[in-house]
Amino acid sequence: MLRFVCTRRLYSTTRTFPSVAYTKGDSTLPAVSGTPSLSSHHREILDGSLRVDQAGEIAAVWIYKGQQSVLGGKSRKTDEQLEEMLDQERKHLSVMNKLQLQHNIRPTILSEVAKVAGFGLGAATALMGKEAAMACTEAVETVIGEHYDDQLKEIAAFPQDHASVPLLQEIITEFRDDELEHLDTAVKNYSQRAPAHALLSSVVGLGCKVAIEVCKRV
């Protein structure tokens, strides 16, 4: 299993996480209200990246809702873990919605599909047992972690003269680290004991990678 080194970076001395700029910051600042002037190549990268990110966060919210629909009420510890991860995904989606508007990104036409597919995946794996639900989380978050890492490499080549670019890099880093914490939670909760773990991980992971490529374009 691919492992990542997670580091937290401060957006300012008074804000713990960069996303605070969108959740509690001044919405008139250039970093959260303007968009950079980019070459057509870099603009295509930004469009595809944020379109995928928004769709991915929609799916993640509904995956955890699907898991809650099956596992909810069976274990206080599991309830708390799922609610904590769901809350983080809700925050991610809220920020991605604002980024999509800020940078004039066309959202994917598959948003409703992402909701249905996410809920179905979460519920179906939860019906197989808690370990299978955690294996689903492990596989999904592994792909998302890799995806965010790839984005950081691409955005590092953008011109850094607009305040929104370094802020976007910090937010993607923050969200990547959150997702990898979810991955660690899944592993600690015995995701790798799930029946047919390798097969389940491969199928879910491949599905996520296909979804990423499709959402970049439509």
pLDDT at 68: 96
Is 92 annotated to bind a ligand? Reply is yes
pLDDT band, very low/low/confident/very high, at 4 (cuts 50, 70, 90): very low
Give the mean pLDDT of the chain: 88
pLDDT score, position 117: 93
pLDDT in tens, 5-34: 444 443 333 447 899 999 998 888 999 999
Whether residue 3 is predicted with pLDDT greater than 70 in this model: the reply is: no
In a domain, 51, yes or no: yes
Q: Is 170 annotated as a binding residue?
A: no
Helix (H) or strand (E) holding 97: helix 76-102
Task: Using a pLDDT cut of 70, give the percent of the chain over it.
Answer: 93
> Quick check: is 17 in a domain?
no
Q: Which helix (H) or strand (E) holds 149?
A: helix 130-155
Domain assignment present for residue 131? The answer is yes
Does 57 carry a binding-site annotation? yes
Q: pLDDT tens for residues 144-186?
A: 989 999 999 999 999 998 999 999 999 999 999 999 999 999 9
Tokens of 91: 């925050």
Q: Confirm whether 28 is domain-assigned.
A: no
3-class DSSP assignment, residue 151:
helix
- Is residue 65, in this structure, part of any structural domain at all? yes
Q: Quick one: pLDDT at residue 110?
A: 86
Model confidence at 36, pLDDT cuts 50, 70, 90, reads very high
- Write out pLDDT tens, residues 120-148: 999 999 999 999 999 999 999 999 989 99
CA atoms within 13 A on the CB side of 38: 23
Q: Can you give the CATH number for the domain in which 210 is found?
A: 1.20.1260
Q: Rounded to an integer, what distance in angstroms lies between the CA atom of residue 67 and that of residue 206?
A: 20
Residue 11 lies in a domain: no
131 in a labelled binding site: no
Instruction: Count up the domains in the chain and report the number.
Output: 1
pLDDT at 163: 93
Domain presence at residue 19: no
Query: Range of 192's domain?
Result: 40-217
- At residue 51 the predicted structure's pLDDT band, cuts being 50, 70 and 90, is very high
